[in-house]
Structure 1
Amino acid sequence: MVVTGTIIYLVCLNYYSTEGRFFQAESLVAPRANNIMCNESDLKHFPNGSVDFRGFNNYTGYSSGCYVVPDIVHYIKFNQDEFSFIEMICIASILINHKPSRLMIHTNTFQLHGKYWTAIKRLPNFDRVNVVYLEKPTSIFGHSLDSGFGVWHASDIARLRLIQTYGGIFCDSDVFVVQSLHPYRRFEFALEWNYHMYLGNQVLFGHKDARVIPHWLETYKQYNGSLWYYNGGELPTQAVLYYKPELFHRVRDKFGTDLQMLNYLYNTTDWAWQEYQAIHLFINHQKYIFNESSVLIYPDSPIKQMILSVMQDYMYPSLEKTGELP
């Protein structure tokens, strides 16, 4: 049975589905579109073909300004086959404000459905969305992910492995993308790490051969399932980032990963949210339930402005009542 399970897992890693159709994952390489990926001649390689980033400048990137990270956005959805309103809004922000070459929704369910999935399929650039089956990690280095915060920690591990497999950009399910994220694709690996905080893993950019990923994953040998952010942020900051700052590009206060976002988003009226590249909405840290009806009566605030900036006309209650939205 172990052999059978392994075969199924490997098959799932190498194939993705869109509306029930399966294709080999090699076809997921993002097209160059209007951006310029670095040429192979720009990169140094090891004999095994992986990129040799030794000596790479993660402060400036290549002088030509070419992109190292492919324009693929990764989104993880484990153990859920329906989307919330906020998840739909955040996916809309990716497709409308960044317009990636690919948005890969990685899930361990076989059929996505529901009102907000219907809305997502009507979004601009939905033809760039691929639904990809991904087995949820259940253990790491012999440590089970079945207790404590393990369900959420599985996503922390999967996002690193996805970048290691494909390269690209990872966005948490409640990250609202405000502007194009292309500037951070110039670096081997990029993340937000503010002065007074541990790293934020809600928005990540990386080449599949980024050197920091193996070091980060190695810290899971000291896995602690009872602490929310120990392995996701605290330990890798202390054990890796402090000692190997040359392995990544440090972003400060551009991805909204600070808890102070709660006050700015929900309790102010004139905060300049448009100046950020992306903002973590901390949706599970506030009590209001947002949907296409409730947001219209929510007090004027940045969160309301952000939602309405990407909420399509067909999501308004008046249109829902006419039967246009199932």
Structure 2
Amino acid sequence: MNLTHLSSGSPDQVFQFPSNCLKRVVAKYCKDNLTVPNIVHYIWFGSLSFEFMHFVSFLSAYKYQNPCMILFFHDMLPSGIWWNLLRQTVPNIVLVKVITPTHISGRRIKFIQHKADIFRLQILKEYGGIYLDTDQYILRSLDEFRNNECTMGVAHDGSVGSALIIAARNSRFIQKWIESYRSYDPKSWGGNSVTMATKLTEKCPALVRLHRHHCMFFPHGLVLYNQNYKWSHSYAIHIFKNGHINMLKSINFDTVRKLNNTIGAFFRYILHGNKELCRK
């Protein structure tokens, strides 16, 4: 079985989740001497618009992590110019069709974000790898963390972020996190995601390696939009897109050239390998 055929053939090979066939493909093509396989996972639930900012996220993972494959878990495929450009630019995206969960521990899921919260853990338990939110960006290789059973970043407020999770298959920390959903509260926005992850890291510190915000998260979201922050020490950036959607939707290959803030700088770095403003 040829991986290039799986990811870029026409028509696309679309797997289901879970899939023993996909598990065999992962075992065959993504095995190296590190604990965490070099697979990147993205989740796409709902009829969202695939924007330039999403294109840049995928491109960052492809360029700077160089994964053996990018698994794209979706209930419906996006469309549009940026999705089409991504499929032409990144050759190792593997499509995985998903039936989104409707209940957790017998309780109906209220928010689509909660569906992604639990599903990312199920993905990592099944395959291991690097989970990324679609507003998370990789700036340099995460390979030095791939010998840990689980690695996560800490935000400016001391909470553990779930936009980037690096975990081995059947990670003990991920398993405990999944088990915590027995007490799932549909009305609590971050109760079982950020809050529970933070509690579990305090309860089971030996099961997860934590890194401070300057490695994977910024001190505060406003630093991205209102300033030029020095991010050369960062492995990854989460852009906290809520509240900034209109501004982010205005960015494209043309406008990013003169965007004078942190996002403009690292977008240019991902796209062109150079963070400097274009003055002309």
Amino acid at match of 1:94: A
Per-residue deviation, 1:262: 1.8
- In the alignment, structure 1 residue 100 sits paired with structure 2 residue 67: yes
Per-residue deviation, 1:181: 1.0
Give secondary structure in 1 for the equivalent of 2:40.
strand
Aligned position for 2:45: 78
Aligned counterpart in structure 2 of residue 268 of structure 1, from 203, 227, 230: 227
Question: Cα gap change, 1:266/1:103 in structure 2, threshold over 3 Å: closer, same or farther?
Answer: same
- In the alignment, structure 1 residue 188 sits paired with structure 2 residue 149: yes
Aligned counterpart in structure 2 of residue 20 of structure 1, from 7, 12, 16: 12
1:55-204 correspondence to structure 2 within 5 Å: 67-80=34-47, 82-109=49-76, 111-123=77-89, 126-145=90-109, 147=110, 150-193=111-154, 196-204=157-165
Aligned counterpart in structure 1 of residue 251 of structure 2, from 291, 294, 301: 291
String of CA shifts for 1:106-154, please: whole Å, max 9, x gaps: 1011x4421001111232xx22211111221111110111x2xx20011
Per-residue deviation, 1:32: 5.5
- In the alignment, structure 1 residue 278 sits paired with structure 2 residue 276: no
Per-residue deviation, 1:254: 4.2
Per-residue deviation, 1:30: 6.2
* Equivalent residues of 2:50, 2:80 under 8 A apart: yes
Per-residue deviation, 1:77: 0.4
Give secondary structure in 1 for the equivalent of 2:114.
helix
Question: Cα gap change, 1:30/1:273 in structure 2, threshold over 3 Å: closer, same or farther?
Answer: farther
The RMSD of aligned alpha carbons is 2.3
String of CA shifts for 1:216-274, please: whole Å, max 9, x gaps: 11221221222221111112322x2211111111112244435x3322211113x2112
* Equivalent residues of 2:133, 2:163 under 8 A apart: yes
Question: Cα gap change, 1:17/1:97 in structure 2, threshold over 3 Å: closer, same or farther?
Answer: closer
Give secondary structure in 1 for the equivalent of 2:118.
helix
String of CA shifts for 1:2-43, please: whole Å, max 9, x gaps: xxxxxxxxxxxxxx886433463121336358xx41xxxxxx
* Equivalent residues of 1:98, 1:181 under 8 A apart: yes
Of residues 301-310 and 174-183 in structure 1, the stretch that sits farther from structure 2 once superposed is: 301-310
Unaligned runs of 5+ in 2: 1-5, 16-20, 273-280
Per-residue deviation, 1:309: 2.2
Equivalents in 2 of 1:141, 1:90: separation in Å? Answer: 32
Question: Cα gap change, 1:102/1:281 in structure 2, threshold over 3 Å: closer, same or farther?
Answer: same
Bigger radius of gyration, 1 or 2? 1
State percent identity of aligned pairs: 23
String of CA shifts for 1:152-189, please: whole Å, max 9, x gaps: 01101111000001110001110011111111111011
Amino acid at match of 2:106: G
Equivalents in 2 of 1:32, 1:220: separation in Å? Answer: 30
Per-residue deviation, 1:310: 2.8
Equivalents in 1 of 2:112, 2:173: separation in Å? Answer: 24
Equivalents in 2 of 1:30, 1:72: separation in Å? Answer: 12
Aligned counterpart in structure 1 of residue 201 of structure 2, from 241, 253, 256: 241
Equivalents in 2 of 1:201, 1:81: separation in Å? Answer: 20
* Equivalent residues of 1:17, 1:132 under 8 A apart: no
* Equivalent residues of 1:224, 1:231 under 8 A apart: yes
Equivalents in 1 of 2:30, 2:127: separation in Å? Answer: 15
Question: Cα gap change, 1:249/1:95 in structure 2, threshold over 3 Å: closer, same or farther?
Answer: same
* Equivalent residues of 1:106, 1:132 under 8 A apart: yes
**Runs of 4+ more than 6 Å apart:** none
Unaligned runs of 5+ in 1: 1-15, 38-66, 313-326
Equivalents in 1 of 2:142, 2:197: separation in Å? Answer: 24
* Equivalent residues of 1:86, 1:290 under 8 A apart: no
